[in-house]
Structure 1
Amino acid sequence: MTKVEAAVKKHLFINGGDVEAAEYAPLYSPYSGEKIAEIAMADEKLTQDAIKAAEAGFKVISKMPAYKRSAILEKVAKLLEERLEEAAEVISRESAKPIVFAKGEVSRTIETYKFAAEEAKRIHGETIPFDASPGGVGRMGYTTRKPIGVIGAITPFNFPMNLVAHKVGPAVASGNSIVLKPASQTPLTALYIAELFKEAGLPDGVLNVVTGSGSVVGEEIIRDHRVAMITFTGSPAVGIAIRNKAGLKKTTLELGSNAAVILDKDTNVDQVVDRHVMGAFSNQGQVCISLQRVYAHEDVYEEFVEKFAAKAKELKIGDPLDPETFISALISKKETERALGWIEEAKQNGAVVVTGGKLTADGVLEPTIITNVDPQQKISCQEVFAPVVIVNKISSVEEAIEYVNDSRYGLQAGVYTKNVDKALLASEVLEVGAVMINDIPTFRVDHMPYGGVKESGTGREGIKYAVEEMTELKLVVWNRGE
């Protein structure tokens, strides 16, 4: 990795400008270990200052015409297009996301802000036929959608730009202000975006970025009565704690997953194997809908495992800034050790490591494929968030559905089959927020409704659907005196 000449000092972004903190913490590259920045650590008072600024910002953005909000979002998209390479490098340096995937994330973020710009012009209600009831004769009514106020956004490390966009984009589109607390490992991307919004003309105070620990900044955002909604992407444990503390605040919680795919006996392995490699190993498996479990019919199982492993062995491992790199370091050594522990636990209980399962010389976990895994092992039933995928043999789609549903999570699932009845069955009975027919569960485009059931969370993202979460429905009734 190219060395950074000097670690930059990054302040909080409050009310349109930099605000210094009393304390700063070093930020290190997950891959090289080099120090890349000094990050401001906000306390309760500075977090409250950000919320106060957002309160004032809400009064401005909520009165701004839709076309102006749309124009700001379009401008941000344009600025990102002009600076795609620079933005991707920011992501790659702080998260160790391979640069090829970081560029892909920037491209998706551009699209997300464009969707938000379009959606800003489409926030509307409906007329109600009051005369459908005898008591409603002589009255007419309609609904409108109103922004709710200050939105507290808490975002993860794995998509530090696009998952910020999925919270900031719809908030701005719908006329809300934001206090954003980014993941501790990826604050630089959030601060970079805040500067772009300022350049694009977003009024001061509408977007505030408060870096620091979750136990200080996050807790203050959750408990402050001036914050109307919490939108969070992260672990189920933290999400459940937020739900318990949020009171009557609205919450959207995008939580865990151990996404699965079913391969029926008629699956053409050669046609699907590359797609599975992408789903299982892109961004080191640190994707909420990363392919973690494959249930392959016994007729295609051996062929799939052989070809899947061969493809995995070809992936280049190393420096995230190398354009040829496909796999780099996990977000921290602690996460790497956890994943290795889960792999070892599975091996001790009869699982077979087909490929991977160990570290390279520079500490990167190899892409790992494991077979014959007991469903109760952590590597199967919990969220591994690493380049690890299990492949188990099944005798029917119906059997596989039972395995997929036997999970705390239910975000997305996929099924490959040419049998329409099997596809319809899977789409009806899989306990997930979305079913992908003839595709992996890792499919997502940024305007679709995205969210899950069970411990995968509550609410939906996808710009239109997030706007609905971030607005309140208001009914207006006119009595015409008839």
Structure 2
Amino acid sequence: MSANTTQLKDWYGYVAGEKILSDTFHEVKSPYDNRVVGRVALAGKKDGERAIEKALAGGKKLSRFDRYSIIDRTRILLMERKEEFAQLISAEAGLCIRDARYETGRAHDVLLFAAMEALKDDGQIFSCDISPNGKARKIFTLREPLTVALCITPFNHPLNQVVHKIIPAIAVGTPVILKPSEKTPLTAIKLVELLYEAGLPPHMLSVLLGPTKEIAEPLTQDPRIELVSFTGSVAVGKHIASTAGYKKVILELGGNDPLIVLEDADMKLAVTLAAEGSFKNSGQRCTAVKRILVQESIYDQFVEALVKKAAEYVSGDPADENTIVGTVIDEASAIYLETVAKEAVAMGAKIVFGGKRSGALLEPTVIADVPPTARMVVQESFGPLAPVIKFKTIEEAIEISNSTAFGLSSGVVTNNMQHAIRLVKELRMGTVNINEVPGYRIESSPFGGVKDSGLGIKEGVIEAMKCFSYVKTYSLPW
């Protein structure tokens, strides 16, 4: 089934399993051809209130095995319907079908690892007779769920970003209210329906789409919400941090991730990582390669090889099996990317491959001789751009890499272990990957950034489960 034949229908959010019926609908359009993929009934402030009340009222308390079983059943159902999910992702996000299928595989891993972690006992034991002031007691710890959490997800990974937030919460027993991006809400709703089908008690999950002032802002600021987990822009993330009040806040914001190629690097590997990191998912990943820093002695050779590699990344109809790069999320985003590329050219850079735009479709674009002060490499450019910057020394590479407001991820291509270790130590980033793209990780490993990329609180299944719970201690005579 191609994206052009994806079933059109009306979609509905849910308050604890009950459909939100409304006369007002939001149309979700394909970024590729602007057709209506579906429309969603909009929720209002009263629906947000009901979602909180239902979560607080509670219901069946889930055992570890219950949580494991529900999450694992969801995983099985997802795999049975993975092509349906992939087609929907591609249709509403404009991602090529290859990337959409890849995303269902990542979501599978989140569900698998979260189900496994749900079965593990995460308690600790502390003996109290370890000092002259001690007693014959033992202190034990256990983790308790929060009363209710709010998860706000972005458009760029319509499935994986959602599972990364709501599944760790469910794994520890914390009820969730989900507010997906208005640009890609259909996949999120379909996943919620899958969880209900897998046996999740309705009070554990609600999904709402509606105006910011009706849904996101009141929920974010409500004192009954004990945690807000947000992935999105720096401006919105900082607004949430300043207005959320006395609660936990998890912010996963932008990235401006460098790939640093040293002169001793394996050239074929470096070029492959640069292309994959810049163009996969249409370049719309917070951990995508946003800046390619190449040492002067191999610079010309690298740029020539990258241009040849970029020619392999066919752009076009996201539903076409041969397409490797689909659209960005909308035409306005593509125009912005086109604009910052032109600004860089005005500062002396050269577009050596690609650069053409049609609506929301922007060709994979290689830009050489980009000044480190150009807007496209100072701010986050969320699209298939591969800006190449020349540097002379490792010190200069470190200085350029650390010079922006962001500190999410980075990649280093080198065969010199001493250089690798130095860069791990001196790059101020949440992640430093040697001979890999900045975004490499597994779904259970810690992930998150510093500076404007986030508060340093990590995501990934294991760390997120910790965030969606709190530690209770108790002691007994021993």
Give the whole-Å Cα distance in 1 for the aligned partners of 2:132 and 2:235: 50
Secondary structure at the aligned position of 1:390 is classed as strand
From 349, 369, 372, the counterpart of 1:375: 372
1:10-63 CA distance string (max 9 Å, x none)? 111121132212411211111110012121221111111122222234x53xx3
Does residue 426 in structure 1 map to residue 423 in structure 2?
Answer: yes
Write the letter of the residue equivalent to 1:75.
R
Secondary structure at the aligned position of 2:226 is classed as strand
Match of 1:225 in 2: 223
From 447, 459, 475, the counterpart of 1:450: 447
Under a length normalisation based on structure 2, what TM-score does the superposition of the two structures give? 0.97
**How far apart are residue 139 of structure 1 and its match?**
2.4
CA contact (8 A) 1:55 1:150 kept: yes
CA contact (8 A) 2:227 2:468 kept: yes
CA contact (8 A) 2:274 2:386 kept: no
User: Where do 1:164-183 residues align within 5 Å?
Assistant: 164-183=162-181
User: Where do 1:56-75 residues align within 5 Å?
Assistant: 56-57=57-58, 59-60=59-60, 63-75=61-73
**How far apart are residue 314 of structure 1 and its match?**
2.6
CA contact (8 A) 2:331 2:361 kept: no
Q: Which runs of 4+ in 1 moved over 4 A?
A: none
Does residue 394 in structure 1 map to residue 391 in structure 2?
Answer: yes
Match of 2:279 in 1: 281
Give the whole-Å Cα distance in 2 for the aligned partners of 1:180 and 1:30: 23
Instruction: Give me the CA root mean square deviation.
Output: 1.5
Give the whole-Å Cα distance in 2 for the aligned partners of 1:397 and 1:262: 9
Match of 1:140 in 2: 138
Give the whole-Å Cα distance in 1 for the aligned partners of 2:372 and 2:355: 18
**How far apart are residue 123 of structure 1 and its match?**
4.2
User: Where do 1:81-160 residues align within 5 Å?
Assistant: 81-160=79-158
Give the whole-Å Cα distance in 1 for the aligned partners of 2:187 and 2:7: 18
**How far apart are residue 138 of structure 1 and its match?**
2.4
Match of 1:29 in 2: 30
From 303, 307, 323, the counterpart of 2:305: 307
Give the whole-Å Cα distance in 2 for the aligned partners of 1:208 and 1:134: 52
**How far apart are residue 87 of structure 1 and its match?**
0.9
Q: Which moved more, 1:220-229 or 1:207-216?
A: 207-216
Give the whole-Å Cα distance in 2 for the aligned partners of 1:156 and 1:334: 16
Give the whole-Å Cα distance in 2 for the aligned partners of 1:444 and 1:303: 29
Does residue 14 in structure 1 map to residue 25 in structure 2?
Answer: no
CA contact (8 A) 1:142 1:475 kept: yes
Match of 1:76 in 2: 74
**How far apart are residue 479 of structure 1 and its match?**
4.2
Write the letter of the residue equivalent to 2:146.
I
User: Where do 1:260-409 residues align within 5 Å?
Assistant: 260-360=258-358, 363-409=360-406
1:207-231 CA distance string (max 9 Å, x none)? 1110123343111210122211001
Q: Which moved more, 1:102-111 or 1:219-228?
A: 219-228
Give the whole-Å Cα distance in 2 for the aligned partners of 1:215 and 1:227: 16
Under a length normalisation based on structure 1, what TM-score does the superposition of the two structures give? 0.96
Secondary structure at the aligned position of 1:134 is classed as coil
Give the whole-Å Cα distance in 2 for the aligned partners of 1:95 and 1:416: 31
1:125-152 CA distance string (max 9 Å, x none)? 2111222233322222111111112110
Write the letter of the residue equivalent to 1:109.
A
Secondary structure at the aligned position of 1:192 is classed as helix
Q: Which moved more, 1:299-308 or 1:446-455?
A: 299-308
Secondary structure at the aligned position of 1:172 is classed as helix
CA contact (8 A) 2:3 2:90 kept: no
Does residue 212 in structure 1 map to residue 185 in structure 2?
Answer: no
Secondary structure at the aligned position of 1:383 is classed as coil
Give the whole-Å Cα distance in 1 for the aligned partners of 2:86 and 2:412: 33
Secondary structure at the aligned position of 2:215 is classed as helix
How has the CA–CA distance of structure 1 residues 372 and 431 changed in structure 2, closer, same or farther, with 3 Å as cutoff? same
Write the letter of the residue equivalent to 1:321.
A
CA contact (8 A) 1:30 1:95 kept: yes
Match of 2:42 in 1: 41
1:373-425 CA distance string (max 9 Å, x none)? 22222101111001112111112222211110111111111111111111111
Match of 1:50 in 2: 51
Secondary structure at the aligned position of 2:429 is classed as coil
Secondary structure at the aligned position of 2:129 is classed as helix
Aligned residue pairs total 476
CA contact (8 A) 1:236 1:255 kept: yes
1:251-307 CA distance string (max 9 Å, x none)? 111001010011111112123322321110011100010001111112221111111
From 194, 197, 200, the counterpart of 1:199: 197
How has the CA–CA distance of structure 1 residues 472 and 329 changed in structure 2, closer, same or farther, with 3 Å as cutoff? same
Secondary structure at the aligned position of 1:280 is classed as helix
Secondary structure at the aligned position of 1:131 is classed as coil
Give the whole-Å Cα distance in 1 for the aligned partners of 2:295 and 2:212: 44
Give the whole-Å Cα distance in 1 for the aligned partners of 2:201 and 2:13: 17
Give the whole-Å Cα distance in 2 for the aligned partners of 1:330 and 1:230: 27
CA contact (8 A) 2:274 2:292 kept: no
